[in-house]
Amino acid sequence: MNSISSEDRVIRAIADIDRYSDYNAVTSVFSDVEERAREVDCRIKAGIIKGRLAGMPIVIKDNICVKGEITSAGSAILKNFVSPYNATVIDRIIEAGLIPVAHTNMDEFAMGSTSETSCYGPVHNPLDFNRSAGGSSGGSAACVKLGITPLALGSDTGGSVRLPASYCGLYGLKPTYGSVSRYGLIAYCSSMDQIGIIGSDVRDISELFEIIAEQKKQEVYSISGGVRVAALAGFDKRYDEFLSLIAPMVASTETVELQTLKYAVPSYYVIATAEASSNLARYDGIRYGLKGNSTEQVRTEGFGTEVKRRIMLGNFVLSHGYYDRYYQKACNVRRIIKDEITKLFEKYDVLILPTSSEGAPLLGDSLDNPLEMYKSDVYTVLANLTGCPCITIPCGKDKNGMPLGLQIMGRHNEENLLLALAECYQSRRASYEL
């Protein structure tokens, strides 16, 4: 199907990484990629592997383990950690004939929304060099926008695939919690961590999801009867373009209010920091990465400010006397949020809502004000707290001309419906832009 060999595509991707190095989107290029591409070319010729993505280069967020390659999660504490094994998703994509070519820059341990907390420095937005590419999978989104690779893997604990995708004018899928193996993903908040996909073409994302998902996609029955859409109140203008383009698939659209939305950010940050403080306890200067005279020295030097803040917050909310007041309470609130969303999906097939209120911020603006940064996650954390699949699509521009995103969230395991809606939107949008 593809006339260009995999080897040529990989060589071009590597050249582009070099050409766009100012964007700081890549942390390391993998070894022997051209040789691997040649092997894939042979397997394609022999008919052993086929499919739309066979022979395609792909970039991988720096918190997904690739055997023999530095996997540092954007942290100085893991700067020299060479992974002894592949994450399950890596094995799967290699088997399907994709070629992982590089690790991408990210917020340290995926904690952030702007890719500025990385020990390698910030990622620049391909649409405006002075702005953030979003986070925490900012390097993955920037690579796709720069055309280095058509697809990238990221991780999404509270929006980290969707936010950078939307800041860069791309599509980003966070699958249902647990539908893609987390084996080999460096843990941040295990009850919400989810590997996801960033791309400029929904059909590529669909195909890759099929490859990495643990189960085959479910048939979607709602499409035949028309989709019942719930639209979060307060953003009518934003939905216009989307709703007009997908109109043939829609049975009804109603505006809804979510009573529990205001509790999403507080409960997310209590749970996420609690789990992070426990997951990060393993970096003790003995087992992985950076070594030093003492655990204290290694952690002091190896962790950045944001990571330290979260470890302290997490330890606090888990400590004796505060556990019930904060951690337990946040878990109870999460249950109440889940109940409201479950009820909503009895009546509607999908919920549409903005990905963020504003487009990409200027670099430097978020770092001084962590609380503001946390609050900006209000629309994305909902899908993680509830485990629901969610896709962001590019829709509209902000006052600075930067792209905005719109999210389509659905019931567990109904990625198919979200992808079908996004694909319909993409194809009709393309023809209307011609």
Which amino acids are annotated catalytic?
61, 136, 160
User: Hey, what amino acid is at 321?
Assistant: G
Q: How far is the CB of 114 from ligand GLN (least distance, A)?
A: 9
Q: If you search the block for the tokens 């969707």, which residue do you land on?
A: 162
Q: How far is the CB of 156 from ligand GLN (least distance, A)?
A: 5
Q: How far is the CB of 283 from ligand GLN (least distance, A)?
A: 17
Question: Which residue from 194, 184, 181, 177 is spatially nearest to 137, judged by alpha carbons?
Answer: 194
The number of residues that bind ligand GLN (CB under 6 A) is 14
User: Which CB, 23 or 188, lies closer to ligand GLN?
Assistant: 188
User: Which CB, 136 or 140, lies closer to ligand GLN?
Assistant: 136
Cα three-residue angle 323-326-328, rounded to 5 degrees = 65
Q: CA 153: distance to chain centroid?
A: 7
User: Which CB, 156 or 415, lies closer to ligand GLN?
Assistant: 156
Interface mask toward ligand GLN for 258-287; x: CB under 6 A: --------------x---------------
* CA 381 – CA 391 distance, rounded (Å): 13
Question: Which residue from 144, 214, 253, 175 is spatially nearest to 417, judged by alpha carbons?
Answer: 175
Q: Which stretch binds ligand GLN (CB under 6 A): 5-13, 106-114, 206-214, 258-266?
A: 106-114
Which of 41, 116, 204, 377 touches ligand GLN by CB under 6 A?
A: 377
User: Which CB, 83 or 366, lies closer to ligand GLN?
Assistant: 366
The answer to the question of residue 160 lying near ligand GLN (CB under 6 A) is: yes
The answer to the question of residue 73 lying near ligand GLN (CB under 6 A) is: no
Q: How far is the CB of 334 from ligand GLN (least distance, A)?
A: 15
Residues 6+ apart with CB under 8 A from 119: 72, 74, 75, 76, 79, 108, 304
Which residues on adjacent β-strands are paired with residue 60?
Answer: 103, 153
* CA 68 – CA 223 distance, rounded (Å): 44
Which of 10, 26, 96, 111 touches ligand GLN by CB under 6 A?
A: 111
User: Which CB, 56 or 110, lies closer to ligand GLN?
Assistant: 110
User: Which CB, 40 or 385, lies closer to ligand GLN?
Assistant: 385
The answer to the question of residue 110 lying near ligand GLN (CB under 6 A) is: yes
* CA 49 – CA 187 distance, rounded (Å): 32
User: Which CB, 63 or 83, lies closer to ligand GLN?
Assistant: 63
Tell the burial category of 9 from Cβ atoms under 10 Å away from its Cβ (0-12, 13-18, 19+).
Answer: buried
Question: Which residue from 215, 221, 197, 260 is spatially nearest to 391, judged by alpha carbons?
Answer: 197
Which of 55, 57, 100, 112 touches ligand GLN by CB under 6 A?
A: 112
Q: Which stretch binds ligand GLN (CB under 6 A): 88-96, 111-119, 288-296, 414-422?
A: 111-119
Number of H helices, E strands in the chain: 15, 13
The answer to the question of residue 156 lying near ligand GLN (CB under 6 A) is: yes
Which of 71, 105, 113, 115 touches ligand GLN by CB under 6 A?
A: 113
Q: Write out the binding residues for ligand GLN, residues 180-209 only, by CB under 6 A.
A: 188
- Cβ contact 170:204 at 8 Å: no
Q: How far is the CB of 216 from ligand GLN (least distance, A)?
A: 26
Residues 6+ apart with CB under 8 A from 340: 258, 259, 260
Q: Which helix (H) or strand (E) holds 273?
A: helix 264-279
The answer to the question of residue 108 lying near ligand GLN (CB under 6 A) is: no
Q: If you search the block for the tokens 């950076």, which residue do you land on?
A: 290
Q: Which stretch binds ligand GLN (CB under 6 A): 158-166, 198-206, 229-237, 340-348?
A: 158-166
Q: How far is the CB of 133 from ligand GLN (least distance, A)?
A: 14
End-to-end CA distance of the chain: 26
Which two structure tokens, joined as six digits, stand for 207? 């195909």
By CB under 6 A, name the binding residues for ligand GLN: 110-113, 136, 155-160, 188, 272, 377
